[in-house]
């Protein structure tokens, strides 16, 4: 049995609980635009009664180009996320890239995320763990699913068992990722809830030369497969107009398609035996 990780009375990961949605834009593009996206997702998830965590990055430190948009930064970004959390009453997730960000982020965020490229950074994981908040660690594209046991041990040694593990595809040649769904039960065997990132799994890292590409048409397929495999949560980056998004547009789900996909995922989740 996967130990449940409780964020609040409405959002519980694992423990054979209903599927949780983590969703939002890749990066905070503007305070008003980010709030509008959060409001739209909240309206859909409230209608469908699906537990929801809002996600947006205050800084995208891992960009292909030095000229790429990174976001408003730690201070302004956390201010925006705090306002959304207060206004909409939803838990908030964002990522940290440096140990100096962990404590301040932990004062606002409900879930601190460790980016895939940084998942082996011991000091960063420990700093996030010591905030006492739930930590979502994205498995690196370069790691086998059983390698997450090292991450689990670091969290446990730091005294924090509020851990989520995210699969986001593995490198498959140059500028390409592939999803191996065997990784989901292997990772869940650690005893912690597993999240499937359906949008970064269709990314083409650096595939456009100065930016990353993606094949967003496969997002629904991969999401359905992951839920059928018994995943505890789905991670989706979504935007009203992905072609205009300032980060990861090619692998974002159009916001207009979110409700239809969630209906499909909920139906699959209801017949899935997560203890299998």
* Burial of 270 per CB tally in 10 Å (0-12, 13-18, 19+): exposed
Alpha carbons 264 and 75: distance in angstroms, whole number: 38
Prediction pTM value:
0.96
Q: 233: closest CA among 134, 160, 135, 164? A: 164
What pLDDT score was predicted for residue 214?
84
pLDDT tens-digit map of 30-72 = 999 999 999 999 999 999 999 999 999 999 887 777 878 888 9
CA distances from 3 to 14, 95, 120, 211 (A): 6, 23, 23, 38
What pLDDT score was predicted for residue 276?
64
On the question of pLDDT at 269 being above 80, the answer is yes
Q: 275 is written with which tokens?
A: 């203890």
On the question of pLDDT at 127 being above 70, the answer is yes
Mean pLDDT of the 87-103 span: 97
What is the CATH classification number for the domain harbouring 65? 3.20.20.70
Of residues 153 and 16, the one with the higher pLDDT is 153
What pLDDT score was predicted for residue 205?
82
Mean pLDDT of the 225-249 span: 95
The answer to the question of residue 180 being in a domain is yes
Mean pLDDT of the 89-103 span: 97
CA-based max dimension of the chain: 47
The answer to the question of residue 276 being in a domain is no
pLDDT tens-digit map of 172-187 = 999 899 999 999 999 9
On the question of pLDDT at 1 being above 90, the answer is no
Round the average pLDDT of the chain to a whole number and report it.
94
Count of beta carbons in the 10 Å neighbourhood of residue 275: 9
Do the Cβ atoms of 258 and 23 come closer than 8 Å? yes
Number of domains in the chain: 1
On the question of pLDDT at 273 being above 90, the answer is no
Q: How confident is the model at residue 24 (pLDDT cuts 50, 70, 90)?
A: very high
Q: ∠95-232-196 over CA atoms, to 5°?
A: 55
Domain that holds residue 99: 5-270
């Amino acid at each position: 049995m996967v130990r449940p990780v409780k964020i609040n009375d409405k959002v519980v990961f694992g423990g054979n609980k209903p599927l949780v949605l983590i969703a939002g834009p890749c990066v905070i593009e503007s305070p008003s635009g980010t709030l509008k996206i959060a409001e739209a997702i909240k309206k859909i998830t409230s209608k469908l009664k699906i537990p929801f965590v809002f996600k947006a990055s205050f800084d995208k430190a891992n960009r292909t180009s030095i000229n790429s948009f990174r976001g408003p930064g730690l201070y302004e970004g956390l201010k925006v996320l705090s306002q959304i959390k207060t206004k909409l009453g939803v838990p908030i997730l964002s990522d940290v890239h440096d140990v100096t960000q962990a404590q301040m982020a932990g004062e606002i965020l409900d879930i601190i995320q460790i980016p895939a490229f940084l998942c082996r950074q011991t000091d960063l994981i420990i700093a996030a763990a010591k905030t006492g908040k739930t930590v979502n660690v994205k498995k690196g594209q370069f790691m086998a699913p059983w390698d997450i046991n090292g991450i689990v041990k670091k969290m446990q040694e730091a005294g924090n068992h509020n851990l989520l593990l995210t699969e986001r595809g593995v490198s498959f040649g140059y500028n390409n990722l592939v999803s191996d769904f065997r990784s989901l039960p292997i990772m869940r065997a650690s005893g912690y809830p597993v999240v499937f990132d359906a949008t970064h799994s269709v990314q083409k890292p650096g595939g456009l030369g100065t930016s990353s590409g993606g094949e967003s048409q496969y997002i629904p397929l991969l999401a359905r497969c992951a839920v059928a495999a018994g995943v505890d949560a789905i991670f989706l980056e979504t935007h009203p107009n992905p072609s205009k998004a300032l980060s990861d547009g090619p692998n974002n789900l159009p916001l207009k398609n979110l409700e239809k996909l969630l209906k499909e995922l909920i139906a699959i989740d209801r017949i899935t035996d997560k203890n299998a």
